[in-house]
Amino acid sequence: MTQPAGDPSGENAYAAAGVSIEAGDRAVELMKGWVEKARRPEMIGGIGGFAGLFDASALKAYDRPLLASSADGVGTKVAIAQALDKHDTIGFDLVGMLVDDLVVCGAEPLFLTDYIATGRVVPERIAAIVKGIAEACVEAGCALIGGETAEHPGLLGPDEYDVAGSTTGVVEAERLLGPGRVRPGDVVIAMEASGLHSNGYSLVRHVLLNEAGWSLDRSVPELGRTLGEELLEPTRIYAKACLALAAQTRTHAMSHVTGGGLAANLERVMPVELAATVDRATWTPQPIFDLVRQVGSVPQPDLEMTLNCGVGMVALVDAEDADAAIRVLDGFGLRAWVAGTVGPGVDEAKQGRVTLHGQHPGW
């Protein structure tokens, strides 16, 4: 009998092509426990179906529910996780990038789906990634309703993977946050980042790993730990704190500081007739930012256009509620401070612009 082409041993043809259905099934079994922890009462069924189900009848309580949706990935930070063979925190980066894009408009994240593409399914590795995603969903208050793991031999190396996802949330129309609510005299409340979060890793890796030649296991006194530990610090999830802020104070808009930096992202929620001024002297970025700046001789404008520089989220709040806003955020263990103000645009060229002035202490 002629053996199937490319399968001289008679083994499964798909496995011979580099795809293991058995490994995929094993990964699903390992992740089930973690997915179960990331449930909401509205979630129907479990993983394994063709589609995740979420009972939307709760939306009947809204007068005019607006659904909000976001899709994103983690970017080149996954290269750090792969190099360190530590995969149970990258899920926080994925969830943070997704849900905190929703909360800036006041939307509560309801559910999330993930997508993991890899060159080879290693069940324990996939389960570790999903563990992080599930734990982060619990922290954000949303359900992990489903996902997909795809094995792509030949496209990705055996130990390479990428993660992405999407999330859906809801906000009452009359409580929608955004530029239309921002007023002159509002204050800029800055919320501390946990570190680099998930943006700018191409720059950071180029400066510290490629040009400076540092290894991930290098102990860096300024950081108080190894470089790899610093670079793998999970993204902070602001969802619950920001929803509480919107509910308890006159918060008019929020901005998630991701790719593009503080000024560019705050500009996205500024009305064209107003401008915001942010004072760098109100905070000291974590040492990793100054390290990248000095080791790579990176000009400050380039740094601020690429990295969050210590601020992961900002809110534009009525000045009379500034102290209350900081107390609300402190209740979630989140350091926050007044970093600037909103006023009229100076001229047509600066309408809707954000200006950073002053200098960080010690820079």
Return the closest-CA partner of residue 285 out of 255, 316, 306.
306
Report residue 174 as tokens: 């009359």
Report residue 321 as tokens: 């509620």
pLDDT per residue of the chain (363 residues) written in tens, 0 to 9: 333 344 444 456 556 555 556 765 665 665 566 566 666 777 776 666 677 778 899 899 999 999 999 999 999 999 999 999 999 999 999 999 999 999 999 999 999 999 999 999 998 999 999 999 999 999 999 999 988 899 999 999 999 999 999 999 999 999 999 999 999 999 999 999 999 999 999 999 999 999 999 999 999 999 999 999 999 999 999 999 999 999 999 999 999 999 999 999 999 999 999 999 999 999 999 999 999 999 999 999 999 999 999 999 999 999 999 999 999 999 999 999 999 999 988 765 555 689 999 999 999
pLDDT of residue 80: 98
Angle between the 239-248 and 90-102 helix axes, to the nearest 10 degrees? 20
Residue 189, amino acid: I
The CA distance from 149 to 122, in Å, is: 11
Is residue 59 helix, strand or coil? helix
The CA distance from 238 to 243, in Å, is: 9
CB 73 within 8 A of CB 114: no
Return left, alpha or beta for 197; rule: phi > 0 is left, psi -120 to 50 is alpha, else beta.
Answer: left
Q: What angle do CA 329, 334, 337 make, to 5 degrees?
A: 70
For the chain, the straight-line distance linking the first and the last C-alpha, in angstroms and rounded, comes to: 75
Q: What angle do CA 6, 148, 201 make, to 5 degrees?
A: 100
- The DSSP secondary structure of 309-332, one letter per residue, reads TTEEEEEEE-GGGHHHHHHHHHTT
Q: What is the pTM of this model?
A: 0.89
Phi, psi for residue 353 in degrees, rounded to 5: -90, 160
Question: What residue has token string 């470089």?
Answer: 227
Is residue 51 helix, strand or coil? coil
pLDDT of residue 137: 96
